[in-house]
Amino acid sequence: MSTAQIILLGGIAGATIFLGLPLGRVNNPSLQLKAALAAFATGVLIFLLVDVLEHGVAPVEEAAEEHEWSQFAGYGVLFGVGAAVGLLSLVLYDQWLSRERRRSMLGPGAASAVEFEPNWVAGMSPGSWLALLIATGIGLHNFSEGLAIGQAGATGEIGLALVLIIGFGLHNSTEGFGIVAPLSGERPRWRFLALLGLIGGGPTFLGTIVGQAWTSTALSVTFLALAGGSILYVVMQLLSVTQRLGHKVLVSSAILVGLLLGFGTEMILEAAGF
């Protein structure tokens, strides 16, 4: 299989995230539907958190088992710093968005204070910025998936690359639902949904290109750690949302469904020894 074909299939694997995005335009969803979607997204993201941390820590553990202490220290630092940056950068980003949103509601008397404020920030609802955070976290995770696809192709493991493409494509098709869960009932513009899809799914394509051109364990560890930190923050936000919505039995069931679906699609990857 040629490099161009591997990259094209990696792009298709990332594009499946668009399958779930139209759900964000559903009119007047019930409170139960909102709770179920948010909880389902939480379950999928909890699975992804476990998955990326497992694969991110694996090179660190392998270096320790082989007594490669310089690699152990290097990968360990990359993982720790990456996780911290992934988590804290979204915390700071969230705080910045909150400040900008408050400034936009100060009224006419504060026009000078918001004169240079970006319009897209002023017009964002709480559901919109949470969807943006989710897409960002998933995008970082999907970049690492693209790296895995590209590196499998670069090393000649075409069978593994194909299975990864199928498995990640299934994963991404469920991630679209997770991204738009906070948007249910808001009927966001198609342009905004397209932006969310590019943020969440585009990195799979970019990662495939990078992985095909350059294999690097250090790069993979770094982006897996970034993804883990960012997904952890989004999970905390979604858990807060589901707690406010109530319906504990429904929420718990939907979280479990999201988890089981994530682990079910992971079985495809396990069949390839990934």
Helix-strand-coil split of the chain, %, nearest 5: 85, 0, 15
Rounded to an integer, the average pLDDT of 7-13 is 83
**Cβ neighbour number for residue 17 with a 10 Å cutoff:** 30
Q: What is the pTM of this model?
A: 0.67
Residue 245 has pLDDT above 80, yes or no: no
Type of residue at 167:
G
CA distance 246 to 99: 28
Q: Give the tens place of pLDDT for each residue, 248-273.
A: 899 899 899 988 887 876 776 566 56
Residue 118 has pLDDT above 80, yes or no: no
Write down the domain spans for the chain: 3-271
Taking each helix axis from N to C end, the angle separating 190-213 and 126-154, rounded to the nearest 10 degrees, works out to 20
Q: Give the tens place of pLDDT for each residue, 137-182.
A: 788 778 877 877 787 677 666 665 666 677 677 667 767 877 887 7
Q: Give Cα separations from 214 to 17, 72, 149, 211 (angstroms).
A: 25, 21, 12, 5
The per-residue pLDDT for 29 is 65
The confidence band for 78, taking pLDDT boundaries of 50, 70 and 90, is very high
Residue 114, burial from CB neighbour count under 10 angstroms (0-12, 13-18, 19+): middle
Annotate 158-169 with b (16+ C-beta within 10 A) or e (fewer): eebbbbbbbbbb
